Chain A
Amino acid sequence: MSKPIVATTSLAGCFGCHMSVLDIDDRILELFELVEFNKSPIDDIKKFTKHCDIGLIEGGCCNSENIHVLKEFREHCRILVSVGECAIMGGLPAMRNGIPIRECFEEAYLNGPTVVANEEGILPNDPELPMLLDRVYPCHEIVKIDYFLPGCPPRADLIWEALVALVTGDEMKLPYEVVKFD
């Protein structure tokens, strides 16, 4: 029997959730026995080449590119999982929600302490760039999401437990200690 196929991505996230996947330590060997990875930063496959069983989404949606990728995941994955606070509720990027877009741009490109040289005062507007959304959206407020794994990042044990359950079809056990929002 062929192995279940997993895809992962990081949208408006910090890759911390992906790091947490790696935090399952030596179980990672077991994981590769259990599943095959398709589109994912883990194997650096850029485009879907197969229909997948499970898609893990890190990060919320802050721009049009995120929306595009998320929709692509929804199309290609049977089960979609929001992994981490950003995917679930926007997370830290969503702290900009409520701040006017102009202020966000000006802080990032004109007035902020990390702005180095932008004498012409240009706000990036190349048509190739993703367009910023009016706010950061949780993934399930864009497409249907089937499971949620909270945490910042979700504990490695939670990710492991959930993945194994999804792959084997067993009931997902979520011990109190591993379900945390921080």
Chain B
Amino acid sequence: MSQFVRFTIDGTECMSTRGQYLVDAARDNGVYIPTLCNFPGVKPKGGCRICTVRVNGKLMTACTTPVAEGMSIENEIKDINELRKSIIELLFIEGNHFCPACEKSGNCELQALAYRFRMLVPRYPYQFPVRRVDASHPRIIKEQNRCILCKRCIRAITDETGRSIFAYRRRSARVEVVVDPKLGKQLTEELAQKAMDVCPVGSIIVKEKGFHVPIGERKYDTTPIGSDIENMQITKI
């Protein structure tokens, strides 16, 4: 069996290594499929649904679906993009996202996606949930108002024996990501920073850090998220 597979994205012929997830295969072909709960090197968990594409006519999450020979993938099409925009808007109204007062503003992936998809206002009513701020750990603050429940921290951050430091709690709309009372206290400086970096929004903040990049120089101030992939020089195999 060949190591390579051929497939199409929006009609364009692409090629990639067999078994790669669609987001990665697309990226290698210079195509950006927006993601949010996905993070390089962390096991995917199709939670946010933003990377939804249509594969051979069926809705699939690109972060969890391996590419296969002959796949026909629809990505940059109207209804798919409308769906993604809807999901971004849903995440905005679900929590309390006060961008002007957030340390992550300008470097926030949720905000960046909203910019990319030209969200001016969510079409859904703001829920204004009552959520807490957990500042009980020496190195980090867990700001629940901003948490989008993407599980990135849950999947990426464990202690040296593999125990979870972050975990879901409860279910349904009441679900939240909490920090282990004991392990949270023992969090090293390095892991705390990693947790903050892995968080796509400003829900995990290393204490006494923030606002260190001036407005205008932040990651998404002038360039939309995904443009690095789209502007990549592709060497065709």
Contacts and interface: CB of A to CB of B under 8 A. Distances in A.
Q: Do chains A and B touch in the complex (CB under 8 A)?
A: yes
Interface of A: 82, 85, 88-92, 94-95, 97-98, 135, 138, 140-141, 147-150, 152, 174, 176-177, 179-182
Contact of A149 (B100, B120, B222, B224): B120
B215 A182 contact: yes
Given A90-B126, A180-B115, A182-B100, A98 B131 contact: yes
A177 B222 contact: yes
B222 A94 contact: no
Nearest to B131: A98
A179 B126 contact: no
A174 B99 contact: no
Of listed A138, A141, A149, A180, residue having the most chain B CB within 10 A = A180
Contacts of B101: 92, 95
Interface of B: 92, 96-102, 105-106, 111, 114-115, 118, 120-121, 125-126, 128-131, 215, 221-224
Contacts of B92: 89
Contacts of B114: 181
B105 A94 contact: no
Contacts of A147: 120
A91 B129 contact: no
Nearest to B108: A181
Contact of B121 (A82, A98, A182): A82
A94 B92 CA distance: 14
B121 A148 contact: yes
Contacts of A135: 128
Contact of A181 (B100, B222, B223, B224): B100
A176 B115 contact: yes
A82 to B, nearest CB: 7
A135 B130 CA distance: 12
A141 B127 CA distance: 11
Contacts, number: 68
Contacts of B98: 85, 91-92, 94-95
3 A-B pairs with least C-beta separation? A152-B100, A181-B99, A98-B130
A174 B118 contact: yes
Of listed A82, A92, A141, A181, residue having the most chain B CB within 10 A = A181
Contacts of A179: 115, 118, 120
11 contacts: A82-B121, A89-B126, A94-B128, A97-B128, A98-B129, A138-B121, A176-B224, A177-B221, A181-B100, A182-B99, A182-B106
A148 B92 CA distance: 16
A137 to B, nearest CB: 9
Contact of B100 (A91, A148, A174): A91
A174 B115 CA distance: 11
Contacts of B96: 94-95, 97-98
A152 B100 CA distance: 6
Contacts of A152: 99-100
A174 B129 CA distance: 31
Given A95-B101, A140-B121, 12 more contacts: A85-B98, A90-B126, A94-B98, A95-B98, A141-B125, A147-B120, A149-B120, A150-B120, A176-B115, A176-B222, A180-B221, A182-B106
Contacts of A174: 118, 120
A178 B106 CA distance: 13
Contacts of B126: 89-90, 138, 141
A34 to B, nearest CB: 23
A150 B121 contact: yes
A92 B129 CA distance: 15
